[in-house]
């Protein structure tokens, strides 16, 4: 499994993807997540790719326990923008509930496969075993 590093090139790509998401033009359903920083209190934005599954919308952390995950755990609420901006409430799922969502994410988004130690053909137990390393949140619009 590859370890994620936020390189200068990745920062540029993330900024471009966030700009496209704000305009509603990002590919693959990408959106911009903005959440209050857990220590600074300042808004922090990053591109994310929400996944709809089972009639619910999910945010996944394919690159692990990154900043937006830690911030969202503390804040519980954020905004998500893809052309239009929505306030959301996020609830982290336990591993058993996260596993099928994580597996579907890996199946649909090949770009993340090197960062997750379970592959698209693996059973749910493999995804449940790595779910703690790749948090999954169910999100709902509020307001």
Q: Which residue has the tokens 């994620």?
A: 4
Task: Tell me how far CA of residue 1 lies from CA of 78, 97, 113, in angstroms.
Answer: 30, 23, 8
Residue 83 is assigned to a structural domain of this protein: yes
Residue 103 is assigned to a structural domain of this protein: yes
What's the domain count of the chain? Answer: 1
pLDDT at 10: 66
Q: Give this prediction's pTM.
A: 0.88
Residue 133 is assigned to a structural domain of this protein: yes
Residue 24 is assigned to a structural domain of this protein: yes
Residue 15 is assigned to a structural domain of this protein: yes
CATH code of the domain containing 113: 2.30.110.10
pLDDT reading at 25 higher than 70: yes
Domain span at residue 101 reads 8-142
Q: Determine the Cα–Cα distance for residues 124 and 143; give it in Å rounded to an integer.
A: 35
- Give tens-digit pLDDT for 82-117: 889 999 999 999 999 999 999 999 999 998 999 899
């Amino acid at each position: 499994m590859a370890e994620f590093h936020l390189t200068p090139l990745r920062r540029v790509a993330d900024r471009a993807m966030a700009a496209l998401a704000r305009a509603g033009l990002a590919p693959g359903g990408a959106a911009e997540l903005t959440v209050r920083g857990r220590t600074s209190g300042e808004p922090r934005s990053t591109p994310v790719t929400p996944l709809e599954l089972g009639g619910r919308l999910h945010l996944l952390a394919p690159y692990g326990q990154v900043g937006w995950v830690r911030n969202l755990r503390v804040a519980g609420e954020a905004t998500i923008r893809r052309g239009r901006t929505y306030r959301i409430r996020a609830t982290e799922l336990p591993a058993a509930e996260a596993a099928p969502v994580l597996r579907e994410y890996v199946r649909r988004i090949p770009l993340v496969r090197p960062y997750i130690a379970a592959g698209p053909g693996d059973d749910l137990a493999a995804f449940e075993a790595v779910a703690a390393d790749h948090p999954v949140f169910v999100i709902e619009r509020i307001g």
